[in-house]
């Protein structure tokens, strides 16, 4: 599933109920059903705010916490939307992010899934610059 020697995660949602909530990310607090600390889900879209300075240039990819993606899949999300701090919005199907993402864990940080830019499209439908090496505004 992910490109790393790791066991694939299972999606444990049955009839809208989460059977395996990740306690480190979600606790019954004021976040509610469709929000959790690392993003929110609206109409089947995981919305994640990111900063352009955190773009991982070595892989030409955006990194998303693996547990955030697992949680979103459990809750029925089908798309990942990145809202970049400069106003740009990028989308990728979560299935593509899981299949094409590269899992990395750096010392002192949580496991992340890095999804290469070439799999994203702009949320407004406009074309991305594929030759610039990273997403341009």
Q: How many domains does the structure of the chain reveal?
A: 1
**Is residue 47, in this structure, part of any structural domain at all?**
no
pTM reported for the whole predicted model: 0.67
Mean pLDDT, 10 residues at a time, the chain of 137 residues = 41 40 38 59 92 93 92 92 93 94 91 94 74 49
Query: pLDDT at position 130, please?
Result: 55
pLDDT at 64: 92
Assess if residue 55 is contained within a domain: no
Flag whether 135 is in a domain. Answer: yes
Q: What is the pLDDT of residue 90?
A: 95
Domain of 129, in residue numbers: 64-91+102-137
For residue 17, is it within any domain?
no
Q: Which residues of 94-112 are buried (b: 16+ CB within 10 A; e: fewer)?
A: beebbebbbbbeeeeeeeb
Alpha carbon distance 75, 45 (integer Å): 10
Residue 125 has a pLDDT of 75
CB neighbour list of residue 105: distance below 8 Å, 6 or more residues apart: 111, 112
């Amino acid at each position: 599933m992910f490109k790393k020697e790791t066991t694939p995660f299972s999606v444990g949602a049955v009839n809208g109920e989460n059977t395996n909530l990740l306690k480190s990310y979600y606790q019954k607090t004021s976040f509610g059903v469709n929000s959790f600390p690392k993003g929110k889900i609206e109409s089947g879209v995981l919305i994640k705010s990111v900063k352009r300075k955190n773009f991982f240039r070595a892989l030409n990819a955006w990194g998303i916490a693996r547990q955030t993606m697992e949680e979103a899949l459990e809750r029925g999300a089908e798309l990942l939307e990145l809202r970049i701090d400069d106003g740009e919005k990028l989308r990728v199907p979560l299935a593509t992010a899981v299949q094409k993402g590269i899992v990395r864990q750096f010392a002192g940080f949580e496991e992340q899934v890095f999804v290469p830019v070439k799999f994203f499209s702009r949320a407004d439908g406009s074309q991305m610059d594929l030759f610039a090496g990273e997403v341009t505004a």
